[in-house]
């Protein structure tokens, strides 16, 4: 309950930081209204219209009121409401981040468990090698190599983008997730094409994320396998499968759940390079374009959205840990 009650304070601090960033950034918001060749009088009139001539506390109160009502401003890059732009871009990022998290968890967890159980043998060396490569190889280089090998050289996978251009707009937009929307519409051709486009970027981020899960699960399992309750379980004659999965892995469930939530946070906020390499129309690509165009409304709107999601996932991770491990309550 204390964590839930501090959530609004976290959001208030986030809004305060975004407002401060907007004020200290070397970008004049009146230029988006008047243009660069406008006179000084026109800029002063635009500043009065936007409320920029008011004291900072008054401006922050107005900023807070607009955000609370869902008004994030208008993007100068697209000419649309920032909230509408985010509703189009964010599902693509969620789709990519969820797929990459599942791949990373599916690869990293078995490697970490096997490395801890066969410590010092080849499964352990493989787990540590994957962890080392995942943290050492730049994700943009891995994405470029994947495109070069599987798309340009071998032709096994489709090129960049979220879907082939001749299928764009054919599936009705229901949730914003192309895979789900195409399946709901019964368009298996669109679903298979979207899945094929998802494979390479999801594998690129998934291999990067698997290093985190392999390292974390190995350390947690090594600690759990050395505890007294494992010796007791083996003394009772339990099978190794029940000892490893029923006791050691279960004891590591709480920190693994936290790692899973935090990995999803990092993918949602850090997939900019992957989205750029694969021309994935997600939040990272949207904010990169907004940054290049000095679109303050879009930058701040994306920052607020990411902050909301990260704060929510951190709260969820904390609640999951307390649920799985009552000792932390």
Partnered with residue 81 across adjacent β-strands are 74
Confidence band, pLDDT 50/70/90 cuts, at residue 217: confident
Task: Give the DSSP per-residue string, 126-176.
Answer: HHHHHHHHHHHS-HHHHHHHHIIIIIIIS--S--SSSS-GGGTT-S--SSS
Indicate whether 301 belongs to any domain: yes
How many domains, in total, are found in the chain?
A: 1
Indicate whether 242 belongs to any domain: yes
List the domain range (segments joined by +) for residue 136: 84-328
Instruction: Give 198's contacts (C-beta < 8 A, 6+ positions apart).
Output: 95, 96, 99, 162, 179
Task: Report whether 221 contacts 186 (CB < 8 A).
Answer: no
pLDDT in tens, 55-113: 778 778 877 878 888 778 778 777 788 888 888 888 888 889 899 989 988 998 899 88
Give the mean pLDDT of the chain: 82
Indicate whether 27 belongs to any domain: no
Distance separating the N- and C-terminal Cα atoms of the chain: 11
User: Left if phi > 0, otherwise alpha if psi is -120 to 50, otherwise beta: which for 120?
Assistant: left
Indicate whether 24 belongs to any domain: no
Q: How far is it, in rounded angstroms, from Cα 134 to Cα 205?
A: 10
Domain CATH number, residue 271: 1.10.3720.10
Instruction: Give 75's contacts (C-beta < 8 A, 6+ positions apart).
Output: 81, 82, 85, 290, 295, 297, 298, 301
Q: What does pTM read for this prediction?
A: 0.82
Indicate whether 50 belongs to any domain: no
Query: Looking at residue 31, what is its pLDDT?
Result: 64
Indicate whether 73 belongs to any domain: no
pLDDT in tens, 115-161: 888 888 888 888 888 888 877 888 888 888 988 899 888 888 888 88
pLDDT in tens, 243-263: 888 888 888 887 888 888 888
């Amino acid at each position: 309950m204390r964590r839930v009650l501090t959530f609004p304070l976290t959001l208030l601090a986030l809004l305060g930081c975004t407002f401060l960033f907007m004020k200290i950034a070397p970008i004049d918001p009146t230029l988006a209204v008047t243009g660069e060749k406008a006179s000084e009088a026109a800029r002063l009139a635009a500043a009065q219209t936007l409320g920029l001539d008011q004291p900072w506390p008054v401006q922050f109160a107005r900023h807070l009121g607009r955000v609370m009502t869902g008004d994030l401003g208008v993007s100068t890059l697209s000419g649309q409401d920032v909230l509408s732009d985010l509703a189009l871009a964010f599902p693509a990022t969620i789709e990519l981040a969820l797929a990459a998290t599942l791949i990373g968890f599916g690869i990293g967890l078995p490697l970490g468990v096997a490395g801890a159980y066969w410590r010092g043998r080849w499964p352990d060396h493989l787990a540590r090698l994957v962890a080392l490569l995942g943290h050492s190889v730049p994700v943009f280089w891995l994405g470029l190599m994947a495109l070069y090998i599987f798309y340009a050289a071998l032709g096994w996978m489709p090129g960049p983008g979220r879907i082939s251009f001749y299928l764009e707009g054919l599936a009705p937009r229901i949730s914003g997730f192309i895979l789900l929307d195409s399946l709901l519409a019964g368009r298996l051709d669109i679903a298979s094409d979207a899945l094929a486009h998802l494979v390479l970027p999801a594998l690129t981020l998934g291999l990067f994320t698997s290093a985190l899960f392999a390292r974390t699960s190995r350390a947690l399992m090594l600690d759990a396998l050395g505890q007294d309750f494992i010796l007791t379980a083996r003394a009772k004659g339990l099978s190794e499968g029940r000892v490893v999965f029923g006791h050691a892995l279960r004891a590591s469930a709480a920190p693994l759940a936290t790692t899973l939530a935090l990995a999803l946070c990092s993918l949602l906020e850090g997939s900019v390079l992957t989205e750029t390499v694969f021309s994935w129309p997600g939040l990272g690509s949207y904010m990169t374009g907004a940054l290049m165009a000095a679109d303050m409304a879009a930058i701040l709107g994306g920052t607020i959205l990411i902050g909301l999601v990260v704060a929510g996932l951190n709260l969820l991770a904390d609640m999951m840990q307390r649920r799985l491990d009552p000792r932390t309550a």
